[in-house]
Amino acid sequence: MKSFTSIARWADLDLLLRASLKCEEASLFRHPMDDDEWRRTCQRIQDVVLLAGGDAFSRVGEHIAGLIQAVDPVMTGYCRLTCPACSDPCCNGQKVFFNRTDLIYLAAIGETGVPGQTRCGQGHPCRYLGGEGCRLSRRSRPYVCVWFLCEPQMELLQGEPARFQRTITEALQEIRHARLMLEALFELTTGTWSAGNTGRPTAPGLAPS
């Protein structure tokens, strides 16, 4: 895959700092939802993105989407080599859900075609698992389904040239960092930032290209 320009080259410095203070994404919404609850939740998040003007969210979201698109051929290729013979597909994992950052990201890129959470109830199979794999495009899947590499797939990656391995690893790290920025931006927009914040903050924008 091609090299990419890091978000650190153009994003607002304050937002970069706030994202760096985050260790991981919030686990909010990682539970079964019926479709009505899903729609209400997505609408609330979309309203926040639109209220903020959407430009800052959109730019970070499209950066993430572009990186996911770039790693997709590699991940899809590994899946085709390993998944058909797998006795315990990761898609059957009962803790695989969209989280809040996934929904912020979907709103940021204007993706409204995901009809619901992966599961409506405990013990249900993933609604998106079809006979030939996931029915969702990689850019629309829960992030855990984007980056996860099982042991056989890790072995395939480790067999690649070192430069190729670094590029894939750096792309996944960049996606993670940009997602933390989206979450920080959302929290700043809603006034829910808690890492040393005082008062109701104003969401920062992004520096001009």
Residue 160 placed within a domain: yes
For residue 17, what are the domain limits?
11-190
Residue 174 placed within a domain: yes
What is the secondary structure of 63-116 as a DSSP string? HHHHHHHHHHHHHHHHHHHHGGG-SS-GGG-TT----HHHHHHHHHTT-----S
Q: Tokens for 7, please give them.
A: 């978000």
Cα–Cα distance list, 7 to 167, 176, 209 (Å): 15, 11, 11
Checking 168-176 for CB contacts under 8 A at 24+ apart, the result is: 168/1, 168/71, 168/74, 171/1, 171/4, 171/67, 171/70, 171/71, 172/71, 172/147, 174/4, 174/6, 174/7, 174/67, 175/64, 175/67, 175/68, 175/143, 175/146, 175/147, 176/147
Please tell me the total count of domains within the chain. Answer: 1
Residue 203 placed within a domain: no
Residue 4 placed within a domain: no
Mean pLDDT over each residue of the chain, to the nearest integer: 85
- What pLDDT score was predicted for residue 208? 32
pTM attached to this predicted model: 0.86
Does 170 have pLDDT greater than 90?
yes
pLDDT per residue over 68-78, tens digit each? 999 999 999 99
- What pLDDT score was predicted for residue 2? 66
Nearest to 148 by CA among 91, 99, 80, 84: 91
The residue with tokens 């590499």 is: 149
Span 149-173, average pLDDT:
93
Let me know the angle formed at the C-alpha of 157 by 154 and 158, rounded to the nearest 5 degrees.
Answer: 85
Residue 140 placed within a domain: yes
